[in-house]
Chain A
Amino acid sequence: MATTPTSTARAASTSRSGSTSRWRGIAFVGVLAVALVVAPLVSSPYVNYQLSSIAVFAVAILGLNIVMGYTGQVSLGQSAFLGLGAYIAAYGILHGWPGPLTLLLCAVVPAVVGMLVALAAARLRGLALAMITLALPIVGVPLARRFDDFTGGSQGQVVSWLRAPESTGLANDQWRYYVVVLIAVVAFVLARNLVRGRIGRSFAIVKENEAVALSMGVSPYRTKVLAFTIASLLGGVSGFMYLAIVQYTSPETLVFATSINLVAAMVIGGSASIIGTALGAVYYVLVPVLAGQVNSSRTALISGAVLLAVLFLLPAGLVSLPRRLARLRSSTRRPHPSAPPTTSDEATHRASAPSATTDQHS
């Protein structure tokens, strides 16, 4: 509901200045591409590692955003798919499978697992998916410890792969950066097309109102299963990427706290937004680094407080910050804005709001 007025406003502004904003967009993409290519060449291995981490978690958050942000189904199990992907990648590497095949399996196996979970959970109403997915990392950790033939138990699996080919003249961190960023870019482009197309529209309808979706011939059940399957697929791929840069995985990779932090990062970055996803990943990687410099025992406290603050002040996430600031600036310039920000009114008249929408007819 909250996105509707802003998205129409955005649509109006693009139609008004369509060509300028298109050129601006192309210029933005161009600059971004150059920056992505040049960055590892001029940065230290440490920075490259952080940048690569952002790419890894961007893909995990992208999956989460598809099921949660775009389709409105809360998932608290994304870390389980990240971990599953990482374990499959480790197993493949240790058994000498070719890289592309390993990547394919890292996508397909978590997708199938996710689909099976969703087939059961999406039958339930309300927040059942949230609760079922919550169990995935919590059950996954002891499972990972138990099946040590596959996972290496509590010790985890150490791998050594993805060394830079001699011919490229790149260092390992630079080569790995290019691999994960390439995967991330492909994932983002595909996801962007997906959410802007027919499937994306069905996601949005299911999020808005399942009964309406049914009346329009969109099956909420199948849509939710599809969204969750895609989320699991991207989770698995991010696991592959994770192993590519960390070279190690253990039951710690899939702990519940990681899922929670991914959800927090997604909301902070911007729910139902591709750019917001990227911002969320930057937040996910950088905030612990920054907070850790202050005091590591405060990391959770800080990230929880930031999440609450964003929910209160910037419900559409960091991605909406420029728009929000612009609106604030324009409303201070004009003493009587035609459309005042509605949040405070909504809060005070919360009690009447839900019923108000249903019987306005008399």
Chain B
Amino acid sequence: MSYFIQVVVDGLSNGAIYAAIALAIVLVYRATGLINFAQGGMAVTATFVAYALTQAGVPVLLALVAAVVLGFALGALLERGVMRHFEGGDPDTAVVATIALLVVLSGLSAFFFGYEPHPFPSLFPNRTIGVLGVFVSLRSIGTITVLIVVMVALQLLFRSTKLGLAMRAVADNPQSSALSGLPVSRLLMIGWGLAAALGAIAGVLVAPQLFISPGMLDFVLVYALASAILGGLDSPVGAVVAAAFIGVVENLAGAYLDFIGDDLKIAVPFIAVIVILVVRPQGLFGRKVTVRV
């Protein structure tokens, strides 16, 4: 039983990372109707900034803050400088543009830091604590806590602030929002910036475990995309629930099914997504959208 709980908590911790990237994907999708495949690349770039800072002796927490700020700036800049050119045009071209960004960003990281993984200092002590006979790692608890705080903050931003209201309005109906005087393009920039900042947090939290490299988040991106689709793509709550579900299920499968093991864990969310979507194409929490001419 103790082992089971440990596996679940570690799964939730992974799920928290997937949730952060999934939320970032949902954020951009809702604002622009676009799936940003560069989400992982943006997060890795910001994490490399944190890495460089820690190498220079800056404390991890401070490096995290710097990565978040720079991540925000990077996201906003890429929206303004690159993606704006493709918004409102052919969605396939825009998606390819995000792929190009992914290639450029990982190329940049590789250019400065190479492809080999580097160890990354953890924000949390590498210890486990025992509660009622159950041992869980501080890292897992810390990751889950940070992500819960971030999600509550996002929820407050979207539900209780004028900026959040404006962002929701633009995501839902950009034309009408512009007619009401909302600065649509600035709000889109903020949306991309927030998404990239979220990615930076996820990157710094997961880097000690995965080791930092340009391709560090490729796998996480798959989990995050799976969570986002499973949650219905336009539902932040759905993405978080789906991410937690995927994190726990794949960890349980990896721990208890010998055939799956650690290497094939990644197939679990993929199969779960296919099965669920065949039954429910709009995702678990998504809205049904009818096709219009």
Residues of A in contact with B (beta carbons under 8 Å apart): 1-2, 68, 72, 74, 76, 120-121, 123-128, 130-132, 134-135, 138-139, 142-143, 145-146, 209-212, 214-215, 256-257, 260-261, 263-264, 267, 297-305, 307-308, 311-312, 315, 346-347, 350-351, 353-355
Q: In the bound complex, what is the Cα–Cα distance between A148 and B92 (angstroms)?
A: 37
B interface size (C-beta, 8 A): 61
Main secondary structure of the interface of A (DSSP, over half): helix
Out of A121, A139, A260, A299, which one reaches B267, CB within 8 Å?
A: A139
User: B114 to A297, Cβ gap below 8 A?
Assistant: yes
**B274: contacting residue among A72, A132, A256, CB under 8 A:** A132
Binary interface encoding of chain B residues 35-54 relative to chain A, with 1 for a CB under 8 A from any of its CBs, else 0: 10100000000000000000
17 pairs, CB–CB < 8 Å, chain A vs chain B: A74-B96, A120-B277, A127-B95, A128-B229, A131-B226, A135-B225, A138-B218, A138-B222, A142-B267, A145-B263, A264-B99, A299-B107, A300-B103, A300-B104, A304-B105, A307-B96, A311-B97
**A311 & B281 in contact (Cβ 8 Å cutoff):** no
Kindly identify, within residues 74 to 112 of chain B, every residue whose CB is under 8 Å from any CB belonging to chain A.
82, 84-93, 95-97, 99-108, 110-111
Whether B289 pairs with A211 at a CB distance below 8 angstroms is: no
Contact residues in A for B218 (Cβ distance below 8 Å): 138, 256
Residues of B within 8 A of A257 (CB): 215
Bound complex: CA A145 to CA B264 (Å): 10
B16 to chain A, nearest CB (A): 20
- Name the one of A123, A131, A346 contacting B35, with C-beta atoms under 8 angstroms: A131
Residues of A within 8 A of B108 (CB): 301
Cβ of B292 < 8 Å from any Cβ of A? Answer: yes
Pair B293/A209 contact, Cβ less than 8 Å = yes
Once the chains bind, are A2 and B90 in contact (CB under 8 Å)?
Answer: yes
User: Known contacts being A142-B266, A211-B293, A311-B97, is A303 close to B103, with CB within 8 Å?
Assistant: yes
* B86: nearest chain-A partner, CB-CB: A311
CB pair A146–B104 under 8 Å, yes or no, is: no
How far does the Cβ of A120 sit from chain B's closest Cβ, in whole Å? 5
The answer to whether A351 and B174 touch across the interface, beta carbons within 8 angstroms, is: yes
Q: Which residues of A contact B266 (CB under 8 A)?
A: 135, 138-139, 142
1/0 per residue, CB under 8 A from A, across B216-227: the answer is 001101100110
